[in-house]
Amino acid sequence: MNTEKSCKQTTNIDNRIPALLVATLASFFTPFMASAVNIALPAIGSEFAADAIILSWIPTAYLLASAVFAVPFGRIADIHGMKKIFTYGIIIFTSATFLSGVAPSVISLIAFRVLQGIGSAMIFVTGLAIITSVYPPKERGKAIGINIAAVYTGLSMGPVLGGILTHYLGWRSIFYVIIPLGLLVIALTSLKVKGEWAECKGENFDYLGSIIYGIAIIMLMYGFSIVPETSGIILLISGIIGILAFAMFELRVKNPVFEVRLFKNITFGFSSAAALINYSATFAVTYLLSLYLQYIKGFDALSAGLILVAQPAVMAITAPVAGRLSDKFSPGAIASIGMAITAASLYFLTFLDSNTGLEFIIVVLLILGFGLGLFSSPNTNAIMGSVQKRFYGIASATVSTMRLIGQMLSMGIALLIFSIVIGNVQILPSSYPALLVSIKIVFTICAVLCFIGIFASLARK
């Protein structure tokens, strides 16, 4: 695809507040669902007698589906309209949430989580692009900061409300409370958000590229889950080859589903790499600490949720401030400081043991939240500000893809270590020592990844 070719544009009606409102509400309940489900995993595992590996697939299936469909839907939104895809995404997400709440088995729950992940992909790739389209560059960092603050607020409320709901009403109630909010966003989008954004209307969709990408991502993630088996290693290598093949194919196709040439932009390329590394290193933290607090330390779901809220609460406060700062100062410099603070906090978590004090855990979570808040808004602003308007959809899809693949890889690392150290067994008191060893190993890997990410963040100039 010729990057200089101009795409057909639709009228951009200035309705910033309604657009920010619906995108921010959607950005709240999608991460809320993710963090709330994490806190409920022990209760889900108890009801269905699920082992550690199958239990891990409840959050992983959601991330995998989101990662597979984010890139195709980013392109579809550019062709057919961001508002349209955003609305359909909310409808699918809300429907899948209801089905997850009534799931009769762990396998059906995982299947409905896949459907929920598809809906979330449609939301992720359009919400940020809509905000970027309606806000001028001098106000964009602030708007992005508000949007990301909503993400972190969802993460904050997830462990707390998820713990309360699981404790008093059971884990299924976590899904039920989201349904009214989903219906509200559907109504607001239809009634209040005017206009449409389809910057590449009339262009062809790259079906073959989408299939290659989807297969490669599935092989990569499933391979992670069954390593160290030989078939897992083969799938892992095949997935990496598939990603490389996808990149080469996209360079040759006329209308690619993903504009690989954008990575020649130094700011775009290194900012995207920094986002990938950051999410790969940090997403599994809530999952790991949820298991640690409930199994190793003996807290119930409610108490564990109240402890875990420390991290995303600080993130929610820090993100808007960091977003405003990135409108005035170098986004890359601010994000690099955030990455360094995040790496330090992950290093501290490698010292966890059965006797670790609660004060230590809370302080480290506060530091981690501050680091992530400093990183995310400026880094996203750097990515979106480094491309022309006609590439906003692609850039938004890239932000979402880096986040989703990073989150997927983070859970993949946890799955890999759990498979090697614990094995395919239900988590019982006899396996607590192995669980603790697994958690410490994963945190060590994450700390090293984040340290490497500091250099990727600094390299963007």
| pLDDT tens digits along 272-293 | 888 889 988 988 888 888 888 8
pLDDT for residue 431: 77
Q: Tokens 């299947």 map to which residue? A: 111
Q: Three-class SS string for 142-195?
A: HHHHHHHHHHHHHHHHHHHHHHHHHHHHCCCHHHHCHHHHHHHHHHHHHHHCCC
Residues 192-208: what's their mean pLDDT?
79
Residues 401-419: what's their mean pLDDT?
79
Q: How much is the pTM? A: 0.75
Is pLDDT of 461 > 70? Answer: no
Q: Tokens 């897992």 map to which residue? A: 232
Retrieve residue 311's tokens.
Answer: 């991290």
Residue 23 Cα to chain centre, angstroms: 15
Measured distance CA(29)–CA(340) in Å, rounded: 29
Measured distance CA(403)–CA(387) in Å, rounded: 18
Pick the CATH number of 16-205+255-458 from 1.10.4030.10, 3.40.50.300, 1.25.40.10, 1.20.1250.20: 1.20.1250.20
Q: Tokens 């009801």 map to which residue? A: 47
Q: Where are the domains of the chain?
A: 16-205+255-458, 206-254
Measured distance CA(458)–CA(296) in Å, rounded: 38
- pLDDT band, very low/low/confident/very high, at 14 (cuts 50, 70, 90): low
pLDDT for residue 225: 62
Contact residues for 297 (Cβ-Cβ < 8 A; gap 6+)? 354, 358
pLDDT for residue 6: 42
Measured distance CA(122)–CA(217) in Å, rounded: 17
Is pLDDT of 250 > 80? Answer: yes
pLDDT for residue 347: 94
pLDDT in tens, 28-65: 888 888 778 877 888 888 888 887 778 878 887 887 88
Lowest mean pLDDT among 138-147, 195-204, 305-314, 336-345: 195-204
